[in-house]
Structure 1
């Protein structure tokens, strides 16, 4: 068994393991895990709770004995299941919560089989310390350029076009599985805050700090996920491109980009109800009527002009940097592709 200590997030890849195995319970794994890890739990959530109860109410010895039996049984299932076809030269990296008994027991079993097993000292907690250090404890070293603009100015689509022409990009909404507004939830549940931070730290580590990184302008929260302070402070101080386009073009773009909502008027009407604290009952009723009738263009125009644009202008008045203004005549695919090429050539 080879004991490994992390010096950075990227040092995980340097280990060269064929599989990263997280032996923690499914709920622990679901909250957060090392990117790319697979969950082969040696204790289920119920079993972990059972062992913990025995430890508190009976004795540590009996808890270890019961736990060892459960770990052995679950390890046997993994060996006969997911790991049954692994060859002799296969190398796994194994970790648990703090590099203790769960991962130690499973790694020992795999080592006795004859595999070259890497064991993560300090377990998930050692990895989490590096994530926290990168996002909370030091200024970000990356050069950030913000794509800014009001709702419906195709910032996410333009970010993708920038990526397509070779620019370095960071897709925060993709990492957070949310489009950044009341109407921004997707069909995919948002990751936990810790999982979002793991995805973010891994993405940042893969970027070249010497190159410009394009990031979509966001508030400090994307859905329910909070942008960590190191990145948020860099975004606030970053130069920014402010995109504008005719209201009709923005509305047409939104109607296509949010087809999941226009295909489900009932869900959209429920979301509009959440705006009642900001607008009169008459206004809310009119917007819901537009949703029922399928007049997406008018609904989008009114939501932007009466709700989103005033809030955007207020937030921009507090911005630290004056923007580079970019006015687009439309938000068609060809226009966005050409704009991305121009921006990449100009700023890179």
Structure 2
């Protein structure tokens, strides 16, 4: 094969895991929004340089813009060769892409091929990859989902984590979305990805699942924080068999106190989130909850939130959205120790 080889994403996909490095030649800003799974960012033009070249193109002309761009690209590629690629052996096989598979990835792929590396350039670039992901999520693989249902604090996320730890197939949408899926679900110091990155993470998980084995997933709503679960994936989840996880209310309070310890120790942040519930519960009720938070009465506050907000909301939505919940397999937890979740996970994985 002559290098650089220029291949479509359909041609590359079966061998995507065989590349030693996947190189995203776009700017750091483009890379942050979304990128191929496992890719590293080696910009041939960084954020500021892209703006400079683009501005010159519009205000002066393509020739001057290309001349400046070529100088910047050459310097950046030289720096990558002296740093990121300096220790790569002769048989190192990289995949290179940019936005549309044009000048940026072409320049980098050309230099790598001239050195002697068997480099492949993605035809159509990220744009072609993104089209593939969008299409794949509109018609996702036929997987056997088993939906973990249960009221807030019943341990659904912990059970999924435990299942994942013992080798079961798990689609943990909250982990992929960096959000716990409720008004208090924002994770401290971990912003949510963008919608495209969220969809990339889902696509990458789905494509690796064995369709002969069950996939465990939580009974999510259509939105996890600010992100939307792809419609076709949600439809298949909602039509799937359910597992009803049960835990006593005192234990649910204990579990939530552990999982939301960042709020338990920060009444101001908690009250800021509770203010989002004013339209549902009225100012007087929210002010009463603020008072509990400010006085440190967190267990009482959590209990009231379960009884007055979370449980009614769950009961209103679960029967309507998950059609098989009435025939759910009941799985009761006696406590919230790791051993309790491990025993439950083993029961499900064996079944």
Q: TM-score, normalised by structure 1?
A: 0.94
- Residue matched to 2:342: 337
RMSD: 1.6
Counterpart of 2:124 in structure 1 is 122
CA shift at 1:8, angstroms? Answer: 7.1
Residues 247, 133 of structure 1: alpha-carbon distance in 2 compared, 3 angstrom cutoff: same
| CA pair 81-165 structure 1, distance change in 2 beyond 3 A | closer
Shift in alpha-carbon separation, 1:9–1:105, aligned structure 2, 3 A:
closer
Contact 2:53/2:68 (CA < 8 Å) preserved in 1?
yes
Deviations 1:262-314 (A, max 9, x none): 13222112111221121132321221122222222111111111011111111
- The residue number in structure 2 matching 1:156 is 157
Aligned to 1:179: 180
Sort the Cα spacing of 1:8 and 1:299 in 2 relative to 1 into closer, same or farther, 3 A: farther
- Give the match for residue 170 of structure 1: 171
- Larger mean CA deviation between 144-153 and 114-123 belongs to 114-123
Equivalence for 1:20:
22
1:6 and 2:35 are equivalent in the alignment: no
- CA distance in 2: counterparts of 1:12 and 1:128, whole angstroms: 17
Deviation at 1:59, TM superposition (A): 1.8
Q: Deviations over 1:197-220 (max 9, x none)?
A: 111100111111121100011000
Where has structure 1 moved over 6 Å in runs of 4 or more? none
| Structure 1 runs not aligned, ≥5 long | none
Q: How does 1:241-280 map to 2 (within 5 A)?
A: 241-280=243-282
For the 8 Å contact 2:163–2:345, the answer to whether it is kept is yes
Q: Match for 1:74 among 66, 71, 76?
A: 76
1:326 matched residue in structure 2: 331
SS in 2 for 1:7: helix
Q: In 2, are the aligned partners of 1:242 and 1:323 still within 8 Å (CA)?
A: no
State the number of aligned residues.
344
* TM-score, with length taken from structure 2: 0.93
Secondary structure, counterpart of 2:343 in structure 1: helix
Q: Distance in 1 between matches of 2:288 and 2:342?
A: 36
Segments of structure 2 that go 5 or more residues without pairing to the other structure are none
Q: Secondary structure at the match of 1:94?
A: strand
User: Structure 1 residue 92: deviation in Å?
Assistant: 1.4
